[in-house]
Amino acid sequence: MSKGFNPGEDMEGVFTGLHVDNPFGTGDLPLWVASYVLADYGSGIVHCSAHDERDFAFAKKYDIPLRPVMFPEDPIEAEKVRNLEYCLMKDENAVMQQPEKFKGRKWGEVREDIIRYMSDDLKVARSQVNYKLRDWSISRQRYWGAPIPIVYDPEGNPHPIPEEHLPWELPRDVEFKPTGTAPLAQSKELKDRTEKIFGKGWTPEVDTMDTFVCSSFYQFRYLAEGSDTEFVPRDIEKQWMPVDIYIGGPEHACMHLIYTRFVTMALKDFGFVGVEEPFERLVHQGLITNGGAKMSKSKGNVVSPDAFIEKYGSDTFRMYLMFMGPFTDGGDWNDTGINGTDRFVKRVWKLFSEFKFSPNGSQDSNVSTKLHAVMKKVTEDIEKLHFNTCISSLMELLNTLEKAEKIDEETAKTFIKLLAPLAPHLTEELWEKIGGKGFIIDQEWPNFNSALMVADTLTIAVQVNGKLRGTISVDSSASKEEIIALAKEDTNVSKFLKGVDIKKEIYVPGKLVSLVV
């Protein structure tokens, strides 16, 4: 659904004076020539539909009659669509009004039926899939890029370079001058090499390949370093491919990330590799903006990290970037926002520098419960790249540790291990300070115990008619009936139950008792 659109200023059209017969019998269609129609996209024809944003805008601009054929379920919104106040697009739940055969049914349910109706019953259309594929022009007039292994005979006919002369390497005598021709065209070394192998009058291809060609398969060749006999050793490929996770910006979605999939599939078909997909998982990182806008020199809103690293340290700066928001969303930079992360880092340093840890197994029970819950959360969130919630969980755990009277040494080491991926320099210092052996980066990741995540006692909120009237502490093994009974007996709650009948008792396990009177 699109509201508040602005008819395209660059949309231009000319009425031909012709009309086209409408097979649905709802009136002839005026034939216009429009500037925004792409001749090689789909059929190259656009029906001025009331349900396509650009067509809708074009029709409104030139007062071309529009006839909506589907409407929202909401009667108020339906009236707006009927009055052409906005364009209703691709609403699965929109109710059809035309064709009559499908009146009253939802658009999402009848699309395939409409296609069959037009092709099989009316015989005015046929079903066809049109792909948006385009040829990939890979030649570039520059030096950086793989040379194209083609040479030309004296008559100008192209010939592939025989395999015995591969790899066909770039020449070294290229000068980067604005000659108006490709850099390789100026190379005497390349010209002489070509004539020496193929004969006088033969010339080399002077364009190079788009660098996206090489980046379409480099993940395989990284595994075959030094090998000139096979594309990638199959045993090594089985161990490492496909890539576990690829992190890249959305600007690559329509180029590199398509090319590398096509190339990988082709390599699989030719027997060079055993996998069909290059990556198991793809994640696009969000942008860090400033004042709501993308940072750029032209806007003068670029934030240099140097001053902040100088003042706060690289770990604090790094953690603030991760804490700003979800990894895939990014966030808006705030010069003062880093202060909260700085306070957290200083609290961690103070606790682990000054606290005297007790022998292992000797600590407050609530510390173990919270520790294993946070171990689970941080482990899962790092896998998902949810770094902001990792830091939030560690802040909660730090609060628990600061209030505890006893913290054992193993808990201290576990906290530092959990923090290590987020603040590597700080944790390396703390690891040494508390007597850890070796380096923190070499330690095994801690494993949580689900059984220890259950607290011995639970704090349950008690509501009467939706208002909080008290809290009770109960044994974690207590039954629903026991917990409700304790809630009614609580002195803060019982005074609201005198002289009234309890109509309903609701228990939300581990959290809440709600009494309706």
pLDDT at 342: 95
pLDDT at 46: 63
Residue 59: name the closest of 32, 80, 25, 38 by CA.
32
Domain boundary pick from 189, 212, 235: 212
pLDDT at 248: 84
Same structural domain for residues 343 and 435?
Answer: yes
Residue 7 φ then ψ, to 5°? -55, 135
Same structural domain for residues 239 and 272?
Answer: yes
pLDDT at 231: 92
| Domain enclosing residue 50, as ranges | 13-121
pLDDT at 3: 41
Same structural domain for residues 114 and 203?
Answer: no
Residue 285 makes CB contacts below 8 A (sequence gap 6+) with 247, 248, 249, 327, 328, 330
Residue 51: count of CB within 10 angstroms of its CB: 20
CB-hemisphere CA count at 13 Å for 313?
Answer: 13
Same structural domain for residues 205 and 220?
Answer: no
**Considering the domain boundaries, does residue 406 fall inside one?**
yes
Domain boundary pick from 177, 212, 247: 212
CATH number at residue 479: 3.10.20.590
Question: 448 near 375, Cβ under 8 Å?
Answer: yes
pLDDT in tens, 161-179: 999 999 999 999 998 888 8
**Considering the domain boundaries, does residue 474 fall inside one?**
yes
Dist CA 174 CA 191 (whole Å): 12
**Considering the domain boundaries, does residue 290 fall inside one?**
no
Dist CA 111 CA 102 (whole Å): 10
Dist CA 113 CA 96 (whole Å): 12
3-state SS, one letter per residue, for 426-476: HHHHHHHHCCCCCCHHHCCCCCCCHHHHCCCEEEEEEEECCEEEEEEEEEC
CATH number at residue 103: 3.90.740.10
**Considering the domain boundaries, does residue 129 fall inside one?**
no
Q: Quick check: pTM over 0.85?
A: no
Dist CA 291 CA 302 (whole Å): 10
Question: How many structural domains compose the chain?
Answer: 5
Same structural domain for residues 373 and 439?
Answer: yes
**Considering the domain boundaries, does residue 322 fall inside one?**
no
Same structural domain for residues 469 and 435?
Answer: no
Beta strands in 42-189 (DSSP E): 70-71, 95-96, 139-140, 150-152, 158-160
Q: 3-class SS at 411? A: helix
Domain boundary pick from 121, 152, 181: 121
Q: Of all residues in the chain, what percent are helix, strand and coil, respectively (each to 5)?
A: 40, 15, 45
Dist CA 468 CA 492 (whole Å): 10
**Considering the domain boundaries, does residue 175 fall inside one?**
yes
Encoded tokens for 87: 């364009």
Encoded tokens for 476: 């974690």
CATH number at residue 350: 1.10.730.10
Same structural domain for residues 55 and 72?
Answer: yes
Same structural domain for residues 201 and 223?
Answer: no
Same structural domain for residues 220 and 208?
Answer: no
pLDDT at 305: 87
Same structural domain for residues 344 and 420?
Answer: yes
Same structural domain for residues 207 and 256?
Answer: no
Residue 337 φ then ψ, to 5°? -65, -25
Dist CA 271 CA 264 (whole Å): 11
pLDDT at 227: 82
Question: 515 near 488, Cβ under 8 Å?
Answer: yes
**Considering the domain boundaries, does residue 332 fall inside one?**
no
Mean pLDDT, contiguous 10-residue spans, the chain (517 residues): 48 88 71 78 64 85 87 86 87 84 87 86 81 81 94 97 94 88 94 97 96 92 87 93 89 85 95 94 86 76 87 94 88 87 95 78 76 92 92 93 86 94 95 91 89 71 91 82 89 89 90 92
Same structural domain for residues 87 and 173?
Answer: no
**Considering the domain boundaries, does residue 294 fall inside one?**
no
